[in-house]
Chain A
Amino acid sequence: QQQVKQSPQSLIVQKGGISIINCAYENTAFDYFPWYQQFPGKGPALLIAIRPDVSEKKEGRFTISFNKSAKQFSLHIMDSQPGDSATYFCAASMDNDMRFGAGTRLTVKP
């Protein structure tokens, strides 16, 4: 069973718009929730991460919102740029385990 569910599968946004990707997890033992960005032909790279003791974390144009009671978290990309076009993965992690969502292919149109 998939422990992390991610939506949407693909997303098209105009330049300057807001991109929103949502994730939900099952296991309440997860205590670290990173988002990874992946460009074609490359490995995933950490974009931003949050721990469950905070409800929001912002780094530049990227914000994670976290709802512990609902077991959901989301990534918001403000002022989306064509260079943000990539595949985004949410993940849920504990010490020796890290599970990913199925990914969202984001396209930002100029």
Chain B
Amino acid sequence: DAGITQSPRYKITETGRQVTLMCHQTWSHSYMFWYRQDLGHGLRLIYYSAAADITDKGEVPDGYVVSRSKTENFPLTLESATRSQTSVYFCASRRVNTEAFFGQGTRLTVV
């Protein structure tokens, strides 16, 4: 199916565990983004990527790692999950400075 998909949709993990959130897009968009959404904070940029093998930090990168070995995939890893990382995570993709398309989100709970 064409579009941008995130997996899993829901995840519960324990403090200290490593967890990876997946993002896949079928448009070959150059740019991909990871955001977290928390009440009162809107969407805060975690990491972004301009192309395969090119990534950069956003506003709140601490505790997260990204990679982009293929244009279509942009996984986000929490190396050692903390309760403060409980959030809804959104992945987005777009061409150069145009409309961004968002996935359905992953609701992550760290207990």
Contacts and interface: CB of A to CB of B under 8 A. Distances in A.
Contacts of B97: 31-32, 93-95
Interface residues of A, number: 25
A34 B99 contact: yes
B2 interface: no
Nearest to A105: B39
A99 interface: yes
B52 to A, nearest CB: 14
Nearest to A100: B43
Interface string B21-62: 000000000010101000011111100101000001011000
B102 interface: yes
Contacts of A103: 42-43
Contact of B48 (A34, A46, A97, A101): A97
B99 A49 contact: yes
Contact of B100 (A6, A34, A42): A34
A96 interface: yes
B42 A43 contact: no
Interface of A is mostly: strand
Given A32-B97, A49-B99, A95-B50, A100 B90 contact: no
Given A95-B96, A100-B43, A42 B104 contact: yes
Nearest to B100: A98
Nearest to B102: A43
Interface in B1-37: 31, 33, 35
Given A34-B100, A93-B97, A98 B42 contact: no
Contact of A99 (B56, B59, B104, B105): B59
A11 interface: no
A10 to B, nearest CB: 11
Interface string A1-24: 000001001000000000000000
B103 interface: yes
Closest 8 CB pairs of A and B: A43-B102, A102-B42, A100-B43, A103-B42, A96-B50, A46-B99, A32-B97, A100-B42
